């Protein structure tokens, strides 16, 4: 899901200003890291933090792993046609045996990191792959990684299911780094299952998280069991918020100051963007001096949303037929985007399915 580093929006400050040391991650951020195998059981959301540290969500093990990354800034295009086929060739398997879960661009080296699994079920192997500027692909070995990790409490039982899907797989749905803390969205084993957790970094203790409740206009109900699918930190009226998207597709804000251990908070639903849809990934950027949100979806394409004046948006707290609140522009030529991340101030990197294969493409931010 992208280089989720936020300081204070201005969007440019949020996504571009963090100072990253060259080469290995700095001693300040990685002083307590150990060397060895972090023993990932699964892999999903990934996001960069300070000094090139990559945060990795492992729902099966119920852990967030912080990995030190290295490398020098490169040059050359990242575009690769049929990247799923190239990954399968690298791993000695078929594209049908490979799943690409997430994409994050290293803010300094512009290397693209992919969270990937090979195989299914008990035979699934979690992997981290890199696409270097110029197009070379390699696997990031985890056997001698420099890492730190934290175990999240109160996660769904591995055997628990809903509509045939493991709830444990939704224990970690998205990750972002903001001002010395890692924000984690997902499900817990509590009655109010939807959670936002805040983990100080460098890792220390971890709390039970904040239960989050939203009004879902398309369903005409308050909901506590549907997880946030993707989110970004965003400044609303001078205060930092989590701007979160849910399945079917409410867009909701949560003030960061309200997120505290054991609390139960209600978000403000500022848009209903259409039912029968799952948000996949989103980024915030600036163009012509204005903020925009670019969101990829499972069935409604890529949406360009204008969040300016979001603090004045009327909260949705009554049933709606399909859409309401903040509007959007559908970017038709980006149909098929699964994941995206900002590459620089003017471009994004996307994983885009076309003609039965998945391509890695650089696109101008619309």
Query: Contact, 15 vs 46, CB < 8 A?
Result: no
Q: What is the pLDDT of residues 79-91, one digit of tens each?
A: 999 999 999 999 9
Return the pLDDT at 322. Answer: 87
Structure tokens at 302: 């890529």
> What is the rounded average pLDDT for all residues in the chain?
91
Query: How far is Cα 315 from Cα 234, in angstroms, rounded to an integer?
Result: 17
**279-287 and 46-48 as β-strands: parallel, antiparallel, unpaired?**
unpaired
Is residue 193 pLDDT above 90, yes or no?
yes
pLDDT at 70: 87
**What pLDDT digit, counting tens, does each position of 92-109 carry?**
999 999 999 999 999 999
Condensed to tens digits (0 to 9), the pLDDT of residues 304-351 reads 999 999 999 999 999 999 899 999 999 999 999 999 999 999 999 999
Q: Of how many residues is the chain composed? A: 366
Instruction: Please report the sign of the dihedral spanned by the C-alpha atoms of residue 235, residue 237, residue 243, residue 249.
Output: negative
The fraction of the chain above a pLDDT of 70, given in percent, is 93
Q: Indicate the domain borders of the chain.
A: 5-364
- Comparing CA positions, the residue from 32, 17, 50 lying closest to residue 180 is 50
Q: What is the pLDDT of residue 359?
A: 98
146 in Cβ contact with 138 (< 8 Å): no
**Token pair for residue 5?**
């580093």
Dihedral sign for Cα 254, 258, 262, 267, please. negative
Radius of gyration of the chain (CA): 19
* pLDDT for position 123: 86
| Sequence-separated (6 or more) residues with CB below 8 Å from residue 182 | 49, 55, 64, 175, 176, 198, 199, 200, 201
Of 61 and 121, the one with more pLDDT: 61
Residue 69 has pLDDT above 90, yes or no: yes
Residue 25: the pLDDT is: 38
Asked if pLDDT for residue 251 goes beyond 80, the answer is yes
pLDDT tens profile 9-57: 333 333 333 333 333 334 478 889 999 999 999 999 999 999 999 999 9
Confidence of residue 71 (pLDDT cuts 50, 70, 90): confident
CATH for 5-364? 2.130.10
User: Does the pLDDT of residue 240 top 60, yes or no?
Assistant: yes
The predicted-structure confidence for 143-189, as pLDDT tens digits, reads as follows 999 999 999 999 999 999 988 889 999 999 999 999 999 999 999 99
Question: How does pLDDT run across 274-296, given as a tens digit for each residue?
Answer: 999 999 999 999 999 999 999 99
> Which pLDDT belongs to residue 162?
87
């Amino acid at each position: 899901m992208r280089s989720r580093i936020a300081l204070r929006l201005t969007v440019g400050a949020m996504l571009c200003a963090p100072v990253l040391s060259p080469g290995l991650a700095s001693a300040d951020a990685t002083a307590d890291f150990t060397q060895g195998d972090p023993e990932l059981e699964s892999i999903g959301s990934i996001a960069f933090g300070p000094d090139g540290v990559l945060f990795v969500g492992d729902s099966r093990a119920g852990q967030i792993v912080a990995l030190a990354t290295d490398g020098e800034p490169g040059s050359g295009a990242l575009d690769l046609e049929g990247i799923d086929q190239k990954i399968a060739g690298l791993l000695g398997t078929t594209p049908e045996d490979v799943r690409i879960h997430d994409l994050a661009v290293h803010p300094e080296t512009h290397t693209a990191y992919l969270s990937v699994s090979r195989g299914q079920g008990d035979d699934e192997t979690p992997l981290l792959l890199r696409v270097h500027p110029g197009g070379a692909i390699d696997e990031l070995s985890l056997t001698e990684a420099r890492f730190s990790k934290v175990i999240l409490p109160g996660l769904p039982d591995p055997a628990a299911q809903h509509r045939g899907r493991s709830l444990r797989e939704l224990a970690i749905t998205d990750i972002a780094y903001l001002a010395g803390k890692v924000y984690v969205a997902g499900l817990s084993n509590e009655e109010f299952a939807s959670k936002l957790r805040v983990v100080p970094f460098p890792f220390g203790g971890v709390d039970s998280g904040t239960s989050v409740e939203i009004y879902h206009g398309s369903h005409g109900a308050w909901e506590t069991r549907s997880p946030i699918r993707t989110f970004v930190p965003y400044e609303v009226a001078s205060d930092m918020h989590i701007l979160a998207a849910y399945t079917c597709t409410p867009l909701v804000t949560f003030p960061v100051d309200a997120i505290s251990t054991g609390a139960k908070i209600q978000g403000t639903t500022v848009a209903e963007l259409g039912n029968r849809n799952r948000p996949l990934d989103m980024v915030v950027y600036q163009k012509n001096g204005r903020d925009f949100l670019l969101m990829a979806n499972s069935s409604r394409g890529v949406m360009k949303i204008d969040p300016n004046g979001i603090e004045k948006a009327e909260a949705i707290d009554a049933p709606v037929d399909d859409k309401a609140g903040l509007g959007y522009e559908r970017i038709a030529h980006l149909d098929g985007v699964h994941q995206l991340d900002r590459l620089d101030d003017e471009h994004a990197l996307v994983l885009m399915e076309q003609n039965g294969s998945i391509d890695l493409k650089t696109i101008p931010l619309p």
